[in-house]
Amino acid sequence: MSHPLFDLTGRRALITGSSQGIGLALARGLAEAGAQVVLNGRDAAKLAQAADRIPGARVLAFDVTDHAGVRAAVDGFEAEHGAIDILVNNAGMQFRAPLEEFPADAFQQLLQTNVASVFNVGQAVARHMIGRGAGRIINIASVQTALARPSIAPYTATKGAVGNLTKGMATDWARHGLTCNAIAPGYFDTPLNAALVADPEFTTWLEKRTPAGRWGRVEELVGACVFLASDASSFVNGHVLYVDGGITASL
């Protein structure tokens, strides 16, 4: 039997960008800890397929970059189904190009998908959490919140912003009973990283650069997420938790 501090029975969690990859793994992990999960994305068919894999899962399709649409979807869901107790802001994208050639439209898309989405969904859900005096917000940052690599400078900027927005959320909302923290994954084998996983040269570099000597598995993010979603982290606020095999700890 799991420790009661980590038991999420009776709580409901909304996970953005959860039809695949890290978001889906976190949704499954939260469900296994007892939460009812609400999957989000823009592709209704992919969401339905993902929900079929998680007992009791609901779906809530909306575009995280549409501020008004996000608020309408969240308000409508709360009115019809009840409280969202846990929010995982996972939706994100990547685009790689040398900075001097980086397309301006791709930069704007990164800002909207990786940063504005955290503001949009975080604000919409927090308004309800504040009224109840409780809530857990978990933003998905990145090893790039602290480090940079060639060809992804704008992505690095967005993940740095996620880390600081997390601190800002905690500063504004902790007094209302919310905890707002971030998980910063290192290099994980996900659809977003498919091109890198398929590159033997990059994988060799990563295995040498990471003290753990390998790619991360998405299931290895679940423990951190359950911790930050549960009563076990009741006095943890504004923290960025790196789950990276030690890559940020070593030169």
Tell whether 162 is covered by a domain: yes
Tell whether 247 is covered by a domain: no
Tell whether 125 is covered by a domain: yes
3-state secondary structure of 208: helix
Specify the residue for token string 């940020």: 248
Contact at 8 Å (CB) between 96 and 154? Answer: no
Which pLDDT score is estimated for 54? 97
Tell whether 187 is covered by a domain: yes
> Alpha carbon 2 to chain centroid distance?
24
Mean pLDDT on 111-116? 98
Which pLDDT score is estimated for 192? 80
Domain housing 169 = 4-242
* Residue 75: Cβ within 10 Å count: 14
Which pLDDT score is estimated for 191? 84
* Reported confidence tier of residue 121, pLDDT bands at 50, 70, 90: very high
| CATH number, domain containing residue 158 | 3.40.50.720
Q: Which amino acid is at 47?
A: L
Tell whether 248 is covered by a domain: no
pTM of the model: 0.97
Query: Which entry of 102, 119, 155, 173 is annotated as an active-site residue?
Result: 155
Which pLDDT score is estimated for 123? 98
**Which tens digit of pLDDT belongs to each residue from 39-88?**
999 999 999 999 999 999 999 999 999 999 999 999 999 999 999 999 99
Provide the number of structural domains found in the chain: 1
Tell whether 69 is covered by a domain: yes
Tell whether 34 is covered by a domain: yes
Q: Is 155 a catalytic residue?
A: yes
Contact at 8 Å (CB) between 151 and 96? Answer: yes
